[in-house]
Amino acid sequence: MKHELPQLNYAYDALEPYIDAQTMEIHHTKHHQAYVDKLNAALDKYPDLVGKPLEELLTNLQNLSVDDADRIAIRNHGGGHMNHSLFWKYLDPSNQKDEQFVADVAVTFGSVEDFKKQFTDSATKLFGSGWTWLIRNGKTSKIEIINLPLQDNPIMLGNEPLLGLDVWEHAYYIKHQNRRPEYIESFWKVLKII
């Protein structure tokens, strides 16, 4: 069983004018597809890993019997596959407001506005390529905002991802060029769960 690119539940232009159709199409069919292809290529050498669920690979990276280069490839491309699969779901315009999510965020951060401010600040400051996440900490059960580099996913550290924003330049450069804060503003505009 090879890993496969998931279909989007919505059209590439569904998030216009905030996230443009060209960015969505390239992001899905080129960037995400490349993570899937390179993950499959890395796993090809290890028949016992081919059928394993992605979650199992990513939560068990250090114990996989693979070459170090392949471990890095599984981390980067497996993480990329998982992160983007989640991202398309977060952005789904048919999502409904998640009242429990809103309540949890308000309790932790004071208000939804304060949460958005802190998340925006974290995403703005992230240096280089990576993601800003809202996670539920696996040890304390508290919800927290964290930045992770490259394509690392919170489950690699035993945490549950609740919301994630891709702040790689490929996620926004066509429309927003170097203006990351403008892209983050667009993210809040299209997000329906909060």
Residue with Cβ nearer Mn ion (128 or 158): 128
Contact of 146 with 121, CB cutoff 8 Å: no
Residue with Cβ nearer Mn ion (171 or 191): 171
Q: Which residues have a Cβ under 8 Å from the Cβ of 110 and sit 6 or more positions away?
A: none
- DSSP 3-state of 135: strand
Strand partners, 165: 132
| Contact pattern from residue 131 through residue 170 relative to Mn ion, giving x for each residue in contact according to CB under 5 A and a dash for the rest | -----------------------------------x-x--
# binding residues, Mn ion (CB under 5 A): 3
Token pair for 128 = 């280089």
> Interface with Mn ion by CB under 5 A: which range of 46-54, 91-99, 141-149, 171-179?
171-179
Least Cβ distance, residue 146 to Mn ion (angstroms): 18
- Is 70 one of the binding residues for Mn ion (CB under 5 A)? no
Crossing angle, helix 99-109 and helix 112-125, to 10 degrees?
80
Least Cβ distance, residue 65 to Mn ion (angstroms): 29
User: Which residue reads 């802190």 in tokens?
Assistant: 118
**Residues forming the site for Mn ion (CB under 5 A):** 166, 168, 171
